[in-house]
Structure 1
Amino acid sequence: MYRKLGFFALAACLAIGLGLALSASAATGDGREGPKPPFGNPNSANNTADHSKFEVLQKEFKSGPEVTKACLSCHNEAAEQFQKTIHWKWLCPAAKPEAKLGKAGYVVNNFCININSNEPRCTSCHAGYGYKDKNFDFSVQENVDCLVCHEQTGTYKKFPPGAGYVVKEPTMFGGKEWLPPDFAKVAQSVALPTRKNCGTCHFYGGGGEGVKHGDLDASLYKPKWDLDVHMNVDGENFTCTRCHTTVQHAVAGRCYKSTPLTDRRSLLDSDLIHRITCYSCHSEKPHKTDAKLNDHTDKVSCQACHIPEFAREHSTKMSWDWSTAGKKNAKGKPLVIEKDGRHSYNGMKGDFVWKKNVVPEYKWFNGKLTYLTLTDKIDPAQQPIEINKAHGSYDDPDARIFPFKVHKGKQPFDKVNNTFVVPHLFGKDKNAYWKGYNWANAIQTGMDYTGLPYSGEFDFISTEYMYQTTHMVAPKEKALSCDACHAPQGRLAKLTGFYLPGRDANGFADYVGWLIVVASLLGVLFHGLVRIASTGNGKEE
């Protein structure tokens, strides 16, 4: 307690001496808002043509590829552009092809683990038609699905286990009837992507709403002011592409090997820039009236203060234990246990833990994440295994303190080769885990499919997978207060390697602080005594 008082006494005295300097800094600090050029409803004439008037779209279409062919008759370079992006390849364009860095390659997570041998289920969110196995021809332009990102009717549905196909005739899946869309109506509705287009996949990644990202879920379709100030439907009402700007169908954002954090472009007059960082619009001195807060931006990200918790309206999955999967109910079906509207156990996948209003974990982050893959060796003695890792430190000039969601998992691995494995989960064949519920068969089939070594012996290992938290930006009134971090048991208690006022003790600062306090008290006392003495001896003439 005395150390803390000493520190704050020192801080108070220094604040008096620096008051004028800070005031001058606040007056000259560049806190201008970013440019706000006109933009509006994606269906408006300002953004796209009225496609219902195009003759090429006024006919009966029998399939998605037929629609794409019609689209390409005008947008003759669109498919070629799109085929170079990660949305198409599911491999990072910035990485060497042999690295196979991406969800279609050797990258592993602790959700559904890996796409290989499971394509028909995973690719129901792929922007293409017919991606049912590793032999998919990525060069065929008509296989690009333009509609999933651009249609605005809300009637266009991808058939869940259909390898990116749109159902061509009525069919049943999961007790629900799926009907073919009215392709002509859907095609005529196209416009710039909306939150609905992006959210259909990105809000439901990993097999359900809010599973992967704690800051991406269906609450962002129509968020309120206190959930996200940028996407608030009664305020700025940003679409995803307002920040994730797009050049030739390449959407700005993270891509395994590449990072958006090195592009710290500040206020530019043109709107045709990659607005993917907070700095792009707000500059590195965003606080108009508080220069002290601006002093933090060289070490603290905007997100660290302005996203106090994630999953603030809908819960997010925080752990997934595959080792407990396989239990069935009395009818021989996968056992399902629900809690607060979520599956706390599912016989197909194991045990889950869901949480709301989650306080992030904080890490030094320079924008670089590295990932373990199916070919990397892991050490079971070092559990939990960090599947991906954020890089950065206090001494790194590009690093800032960033908030993360850290998802904990338990998944199969090759206990002889000490590598991760791919289980064959989805399919009608008996070796698919969700058909035969036999881990040995499922893993052997998945590894045979990848062509990678497998000893035939497996066990389960604890893992962690992290996601940078950057959505659900709260208004300044809801941002963290100073004592959230500047306290002995504050949010940054585990972030070591640097001195943090209010959290860490400093003997010299404490000593000087108390010295100033004592000197000040003695000065006041001496001044008072002098005044008393001089008043008693004084005479009026």
Structure 2
Amino acid sequence: MNAWSVCGRWLAGAALAAVFFSSVPGWAQIKVLDENQAPGRAMAQQATKGREIWITADHSLHPILKKEFKSGPEVTESCLSCHELAAGQFQKTIHWTWLDPNVDPKLRVGKGGLSMNNFCINIQSNEPRCTSCHAGYGWKDKTFDFSNAHSVDCLACHEQTGTYHKFPTGAGNPVSEPTVFKEDGKTYMPPEWNKVAQSVGRPTRQNCGTCHFFGGGGDGVKHGDMDSSLMKPNKELDVHMGTDGQNFDCVRCHTTRVHHIAGRIYSTPAAKGRKSLIEDDLTPKIMCESCHSRTPHKPGVKANAHTDKVACQSCHISTYARVNPTTMWWDWSKAGQMKEGKPYKELDEFGKPGYDTKKGEFKWARNVVPEYYWFNGSLTTLTARDTIDPSGVVAVGWPNGDKNDANARIFPFKVHRGRQPYDKVNKTLVIPRLFGKEGTGAYWADYDWDKSAAAGMAYAGLPFSGELGFVDSTYVFPITHMVAPKDKAVQCQECHSKNGRLRNLGGFYMPGRDVNKPIQVMGWILVLGSLAGVFFHGLGRMVARGKKED
């Protein structure tokens, strides 16, 4: 082989490699090997296989739970006769306060305070409706006594009959007699107090999902990755929770210590460090790495090199709301329209409200591709005190982190968009009073936005100029449930391409999506040089062969 041949082949190979790595989508597509051989797999099995749930008491046998009960606080009083520290523990948790524990309580940061959203907006003056999902009894207004131990609702998290329901507008109380809820036509029955009290046990997904699957006023309204389909999912929907797979309850990952449940809390990440190993089955499980380690794939597989910058969820949750639809748009500015002088609803193709006189216009979607942002595990949300810029879209809640943050990863989100009321003069988001009787300013009674805004802001102790407008807004929800089977993971080229999933996430170079012009120019020069070399090499051989034949 002469020098022309060697040089031509080397140049051709180098040129093709340069062009390949600088501009061809899907360059990083590497077949992921059987994850059963991955180093993190054994650790995950240690945390999930062969587990036993210890049951050391049968509450149906306790004499104190056999007496006649007429209310929830009476049941709690009996619970505390044995579990004397439970109420005090629970009252220190976010499930009780609905406030960020790491922020001065006077600032009232949290959904129980002044933090805003763009679905239900805010709890202030609307407590009887919102606190049907509070694990307490009687939070009807700002006079609620958070120190009263007997106001803690033990049954919300621990009863196991599935028959215990709070009335949607009862300030956290069940009804005392059969009652029809006008909004959905359902009849709510009073609890069989002895039966539910004697059933208590370890919380199940039914307990958690009763509130978390229906937050925001309906099934799948808030979280695109949490809805009623997770009550009894198959492993195609969620490999961890699937009843035909691992069959995890929520508390399997959201582990609990003295009633503090592991998870993200407003400005606090789910974990302050990236957990990479588990020591035993008592280790908090909230991070993927807690079970699967930071190298979950077989050594040498390219995906292991992504874990320092890409969250596991980004690859393993390709879409959310895969069974039930979730809201993607909520326009409060269109509320108040009537038909024949009466409020009305119109259902969309999913059988969900596309329009509701009380709440405005909705858009729902199913099987949604997430949007991606850098995320270190904490979110920032606006409060009703914060000044906004109404000339653009207002980010009511957004993820913290960037590519230079060691704890940040590219993470999938549901972005909920909408239009909500704001104060044109003070340039703050407005808390409307929605729930209440006629004459109180409640929007759902009087359908007057000005009165509603004035009443809500006065209740919250905040100024209102009297000039109301509506502003476009966004609010983000991290997507971390509905983990799909490994064969349904996002493929490399879905991100490593010009119009891929990460097309809008800038600030860094990503092969296949971005073009490095110097390398590309050099590559084409090498290609052309290689072609010229091959051409002249071939021409030279033809000439040499002709001379030999002569």
Q: Normalised by the size of structure 2, how large is the TM-score?
A: 0.88
Say whether 1:407 aligns with 2:409: no
Residue 265 of structure 1 corresponds to which residue in structure 2?
Answer: 275
SS of the aligned residue for 2:40 comes to coil
Measured against aligned partners, the alpha-carbon deviations of 1:452-509 in whole angstroms (never above 9, x if no partner) come to 1111111111111111111111111001111001101111111111111011111333
Letter in 1 for 2:100: C
Say whether 1:129 aligns with 2:120: no
Within 1, Cα distance between the matches of 2:523 and 2:112?
Answer: 59
Question: Is the Cα contact below 8 Å between 1:378 and 1:419 reproduced in 2?
Answer: yes
Residue 218 of structure 2 corresponds to which residue in structure 1?
Answer: 208
- Deviation, 1:380, is 1.2
Question: Is the Cα contact below 8 Å between 1:35 and 1:267 reproduced in 2?
Answer: no
Letter in 1 for 2:127: E
Relative distance call for 1:236 and 1:524 in structure 2 (3 A) is farther
- Deviation, 1:247, is 0.7
- Deviation, 1:37, is 5.5
Relative distance call for 1:39 and 1:147 in structure 2 (3 A) is farther
- Deviation, 1:291, is 2.2
Say whether 1:61 aligns with 2:66: no
Relative distance call for 1:392 and 1:45 in structure 2 (3 A) is closer
Letter in 1 for 2:190: P
Say whether 1:453 aligns with 2:499: no
Residue 276 of structure 1 corresponds to which residue in structure 2?
Answer: 286
**More off after superposition, 44-53 vs 107-116:** 44-53
Within 2, Cα distance between the matches of 1:352 and 1:376?
Answer: 26
Say whether 1:51 aligns with 2:59: yes
Residue 81 of structure 1 corresponds to which residue in structure 2?
Answer: 89
Aligned partner (choices 101, 110, 114) of residue 93 of structure 1: 101
Say whether 1:420 aligns with 2:434: no
- Deviation, 1:389, is 1.9
Residue 343 of structure 2 corresponds to which residue in structure 1?
Answer: 334
Q: Normalised by the size of structure 1, how large is the TM-score?
A: 0.90
Question: Is the Cα contact below 8 Å between 1:48 and 1:192 reproduced in 2?
Answer: no
Within 2, Cα distance between the matches of 1:417 and 1:221?
Answer: 44
Aligned partner (choices 29, 40, 44) of residue 31 of structure 1: 40
Relative distance call for 1:39 and 1:484 in structure 2 (3 A) is closer
Say whether 1:432 aligns with 2:432: no
Relative distance call for 1:4 and 1:242 in structure 2 (3 A) is farther
Question: Is the Cα contact below 8 Å between 1:10 and 1:509 reproduced in 2?
Answer: no
Letter in 1 for 2:369: V
Unaligned runs of 5+ in 2: 1-13, 24-29
Residue 477 of structure 1 corresponds to which residue in structure 2?
Answer: 487
Relative distance call for 1:172 and 1:11 in structure 2 (3 A) is closer
- Deviation, 1:198, is 0.4
Say whether 1:395 aligns with 2:404: yes
Measured against aligned partners, the alpha-carbon deviations of 1:337-381 in whole angstroms (never above 9, x if no partner) come to 111201100000000000011111111112232111011111112
Relative distance call for 1:513 and 1:9 in structure 2 (3 A) is farther
Residue 519 of structure 2 corresponds to which residue in structure 1?
Answer: 509
Relative distance call for 1:140 and 1:41 in structure 2 (3 A) is farther
Say whether 1:371 aligns with 2:390: no
SS of the aligned residue for 2:418 comes to strand
Question: Is the Cα contact below 8 Å between 2:47 and 2:291 reproduced in 1?
Answer: no
Within 2, Cα distance between the matches of 1:119 and 1:298?
Answer: 42
Within 2, Cα distance between the matches of 1:401 and 1:120?
Answer: 38
Unaligned runs of 5+ in 1: 13-18
Aligned partner (choices 384, 406, 409) of residue 393 of structure 2: 384
**More off after superposition, 478-487 vs 385-394:** 385-394
Relative distance call for 1:47 and 1:427 in structure 2 (3 A) is same
Give the percent of matched residue pairs that are identical in Structure 1 and Structure 2. Answer: 54
Aligned partner (choices 128, 145, 149) of residue 120 of structure 1: 128
Within 2, Cα distance between the matches of 1:237 and 1:483?
Answer: 32
Relative distance call for 1:40 and 1:326 in structure 2 (3 A) is farther
SS of the aligned residue for 1:364 comes to strand
Within 2, Cα distance between the matches of 1:257 and 1:72?
Answer: 32
Aligned partner (choices 299, 304, 321) of residue 331 of structure 2: 321
Measured against aligned partners, the alpha-carbon deviations of 1:11-34 in whole angstroms (never above 9, x if no partner) come to 89xxxxxx9xx99xx999843443
**More off after superposition, 259-268 vs 399-408:** 259-268
Letter in 2 for 1:254: R
Say whether 1:144 aligns with 2:155: no
SS of the aligned residue for 2:187 comes to strand
SS of the aligned residue for 1:34 comes to helix
- Deviation, 1:181, is 1.0
Residue 301 of structure 2 corresponds to which residue in structure 1?
Answer: 291
Question: Is the Cα contact below 8 Å between 1:214 and 1:469 reproduced in 2?
Answer: yes
Within 2, Cα distance between the matches of 1:453 and 1:123?
Answer: 25
- Deviation, 1:202, is 0.3
Question: Is the Cα contact below 8 Å between 1:6 and 1:509 reproduced in 2?
Answer: no
Relative distance call for 1:205 and 1:45 in structure 2 (3 A) is closer
Relative distance call for 1:525 and 1:299 in structure 2 (3 A) is farther
**More off after superposition, 30-39 vs 349-358:** 30-39
- Deviation, 1:514, is 4.8
Within 1, Cα distance between the matches of 2:84 and 2:315?
Answer: 45
Relative distance call for 1:29 and 1:241 in structure 2 (3 A) is closer
SS of the aligned residue for 2:235 comes to coil
Aligned partner (choices 166, 170, 179) of residue 162 of structure 1: 170
Measured against aligned partners, the alpha-carbon deviations of 1:29-59 in whole angstroms (never above 9, x if no partner) come to 84344344587999x8624522112121122
SS of the aligned residue for 1:134 comes to coil
Within 2, Cα distance between the matches of 1:36 and 1:58?
Answer: 41
- Deviation, 1:408, is 0.7
Letter in 2 for 1:442: S
- Deviation, 1:123, is 0.3
> Across the two proteins, how many residue pairs are aligned to each other?
521
- Deviation, 1:269, is 2.6
Residue 70 of structure 1 corresponds to which residue in structure 2?
Answer: 78
Measured against aligned partners, the alpha-carbon deviations of 1:123-174 in whole angstroms (never above 9, x if no partner) come to 0110000110011000011110000111110110101110001112233322
Aligned partner (choices 293, 318, 328) of residue 308 of structure 1: 318
- Deviation, 1:115, is 0.3
Measured against aligned partners, the alpha-carbon deviations of 1:160-213 in whole angstroms (never above 9, x if no partner) come to 110001112233322443221111111111111111110000000000000011
Say whether 1:240 aligns with 2:241: no
Residue 104 of structure 1 corresponds to which residue in structure 2?
Answer: 112
Within 1, Cα distance between the matches of 2:377 and 2:455?
Answer: 36
Letter in 2 for 1:294: N
**More off after superposition, 435-444 vs 509-518:** 509-518
Residue 15 of structure 1 corresponds to which residue in structure 2?
Answer: none
- Deviation, 1:63, is 0.7
Within 1, Cα distance between the matches of 2:260 and 2:166?
Answer: 22
Question: Is the Cα contact below 8 Å between 2:22 and 2:512 reproduced in 1?
Answer: no
SS of the aligned residue for 2:445 comes to helix
Letter in 1 for 2:135: A
Question: Is the Cα contact below 8 Å between 1:6 and 1:510 reproduced in 2?
Answer: no
- Deviation, 1:4, is 11
Within 1, Cα distance between the matches of 2:165 and 2:480?
Answer: 28
Relative distance call for 1:306 and 1:28 in structure 2 (3 A) is closer
Within 2, Cα distance between the matches of 1:40 and 1:429?
Answer: 57
Within 2, Cα distance between the matches of 1:408 and 1:34?
Answer: 40
Residue 348 of structure 1 corresponds to which residue in structure 2?
Answer: 358
Aligned partner (choices 492, 500, 516) of residue 502 of structure 2: 492
